[in-house]
């Protein structure tokens, strides 16, 4: 029988190793794109959407204009905007359609994925590969995980997003502390 603490430690170790494999140049390009965008729109499906929502929230906490695609208050995109898509497979049909529309509208696209050579990868201006596994692709990623499905990718995306915001704030000279976050945090809870 598996021990929950030992399994938790194995997962944490796996994530640390996985995050160390991310290309720094792609991460820097994503930071630059966020800082140069008028507005940032984030999209994903399933658990990837939950992780990308975390990134969108932290961007808002920094004072950037940040939206999650599909929310009722999300406005139309325009040239000068950035669309960040999180998709392990890079093949999710609704996200491909969304990226094609964004491209036609002159929106820059960044993709966080396991598979840079996917349909979404070919549409994106910036592709950041997070190694992982997913049952939604027949391609072998070459990665082995102690976790099922897309867990490794999704958890890595969440941790990467939090680290990205810390580095983005540092590069831009923005305040990122409890007081600055709480000044923009939801207060009707």
* Residue 14 a catalytic site member: no
Using the Cα atoms of residue 58, residue 19, residue 3 and residue 145 in order, give the sign of their dihedral: positive
Q: At what angle do helices 151-172 and 4-19 cross, to 10 degrees?
A: 50
Out of 14, 71, 138, 154, pick the active-site residue. Answer: 154
**Distance, C-alpha 27 to centroid of its chain:** 11
**Torsion of the alpha carbons at 89, 96, 127 and 29, rounded to the nearest 10:** -140
Q: Is 84 strand, coil or helix? A: strand
Which positions are annotated as active-site residues?
154
């Amino acid at each position: 029988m598996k021990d929950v603490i030992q399994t938790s430690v194995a997962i944490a170790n796996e994530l640390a190793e996985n995050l160390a494999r991310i290309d720094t140049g792609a991460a820097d390009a994503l930071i630059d794109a966020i800082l140069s965008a008028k507005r940032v729109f984030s999209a994903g499906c399933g658990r990837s959407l939950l992780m990308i929502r975390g990134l969108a929230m932290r961007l808002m906490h920094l004072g950037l204009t940040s939206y999650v695609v599909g929310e009722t208050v999300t406005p139309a995109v325009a040239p000068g905007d950035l669309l960040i898509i999180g998709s392990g497979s890079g093949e999710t049909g609704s996200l491909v359609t969304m990226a094609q529309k964004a491209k036609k509208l002159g929106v820059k696209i960044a993709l966080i994925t396991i598979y840079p050579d996917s349909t979404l990868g070919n549409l994106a201006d910036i592709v950041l590969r997070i190694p992982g596994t997913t049952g939604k692709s027949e391609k072998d990623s070459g990665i082995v995980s102690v976790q099922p499905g897309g867990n490794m990718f999704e958890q890595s995306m969440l941790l990467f997003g939090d680290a990205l915001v810390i580095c983005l704030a540092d590069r831009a000279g923005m305040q990122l502390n409890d007081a600055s976050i709480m000044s923009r945090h939801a207060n009707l809870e």
